[in-house]
Structure 1
């Protein structure tokens, strides 16, 4: 059987040691079979195990192989489309539920890190940086919106104040969210996987789900085995492929690129980000960056629609980094990689049930670190018979991309070009 290793990323190179996990051979029975050992699958499994379910996870590659182990490592609250969009989309009761949940994912991460002693370089504090007066106005509105839902750990920053937290001359101001923050994302996933196993959960790596046999007692077929279950959770996101065709038609894998510098001197690292906060700008195609535990700068940005791997990632991202921090012009790039996230047309998550016993959550649209941890809790609640919060997500509309799978890439790229032009022109 083919062995799929981690990509050559900084995260894989600095991952905590883990035991080998076997591929599935033969047939097993379980209460819940989870497809995918990323954050959605791991979070679901942990909540289910804590409530007495027997859980088996099948993973096509390795724990955290996909977006969960490749992302920018930033804990960012709310959804890719904010609560005000949701308020205009659904009824008041559903909007209230979804608004209350918008800040729960970050709390779940911190609870997991503390409860299971996960070593993942957790740091508090995230900055939204405004490049234009319009973006600053949006942050002022966002602060009022979030405070209306009880989220109060926010500070608006003028130009002088933001210079105190990030050494970039481009920003007019920003907003600091102290409940935001950053982590080593792969080590978070590996720590959650160890927690799953400590509670009796079983994880099979190098075990792709190749077919789901639907029915009263569904079966997940793998290359050399099968899992008989009472329920299935589909948590493959951008790496699911066409395993569930009705989900593939309403989502699109997209690639984002990340680079990591060589270790910086303590003085230079302190100069760039004195409080060690993570930062993302407010552009439609945004840039994001932070320091690692060993004082490297991780810088990411850009979107490749359709998830093609660019030939030269450093050539795409390094100019963005130098625009923000020209003082890094002589700094070497040690790692460059790409990873896929799953985009929906509405940019809101897609949550639901197929038949009576196949549950799914997908389409974080770039806001996956916090949302996936919430999604795991919501899916586990639904399987325990408490479906109110699940139903609030399931009620969000699912739209197919115009033109189907053939035209979704060019149409999305055209839309992104339009909004990027608006960002550059400041309107």
Structure 2
């Protein structure tokens, strides 16, 4: 009898457990957790890795431990609920995993004791982000022991949180190439025992160009996402701008640091006008310029003035900032000083030649002198086999052909661009443009 009562009670508990498990509210809440973890990692991931790298001294190891903590969160949080301080939870778990890894390897006792003191096994530390930690991570990853391409790929992956596919699209190279660069970069930093620190000012020179480039590309991804279903990634752009401002204060006599901040301020000033409420993109010519952030534009003008005050001539970021300023001060697209923009692109193409610069120059030429001359520029890019695999070239060609009345060719170019676009919103926009020709 007692056994039957026990079995009945056990069956009741099992039934109750199953009932709770299939509760629609709980199921929906659990399903939302992975999306929340993804958003958390996108925002706080660089700081978590930076905090771990500061105490472990190894960027690759720090990222591995952080990813293991995220894997634990994906298992535990749907069942137990999201912690009150989720970033602190991930940091503490990752530090404990580092302790376990060192213990298993029976090495680095000194580091183990230091880490154990900072994160006791029974205490979840408060999350206290140190902004310079992220910049320190950028400087470490941009160590001259690495090739420039490896520096940038590693930093965009670890600091920017970009996937290897997104980085590959930024550089227009195969994903496998980016993956190999990142793996080799981590191994090289570990073998060279590169310290996790901002170097002395005398050592900034060899790293500064890489640091500026990383921040620039992070902002570029935030301004126009290469993948996903959002045209803009404001969190990535905001982090790039924050890093740029910190760097500007760190190297106040570096004109290009001020110029890069100016460029980002000008570009970010348009964010509110670049999409509809549903996320649909709005092209520059169609934007409501009253929604542009005038305060941010003024900050951009001040930063560019600081760069120009050194009297050394404008570098790559200074020229791009000057182009962005031309757009920012024009009350309407028809009032834009397109001849001046063409001159600035001419200078930029000589100073920092690239297919993307030449493509942007073609757009400016089309507005200043007409689409026929610009189409000849894009034809040259096609003949050279440049930007193959990128949606940018067929997208621009589609617009030029449409303005020339060559509708069938324009539709074909827009369709080709849509097929190459990795971003859902960009693809939809290109298909709409094809249909509207």
TM bucket normalised to smaller = under 0.3
Structure richer in helix, relative to its length: 2
Higher relative contact order (CA 8 A, sep 6+): 1
Q: Which has the larger radius of gyration?
A: 2
- TM-score norm. by structure 2 comes to 0.22
TM-score normalised over the length of structure 1: 0.23
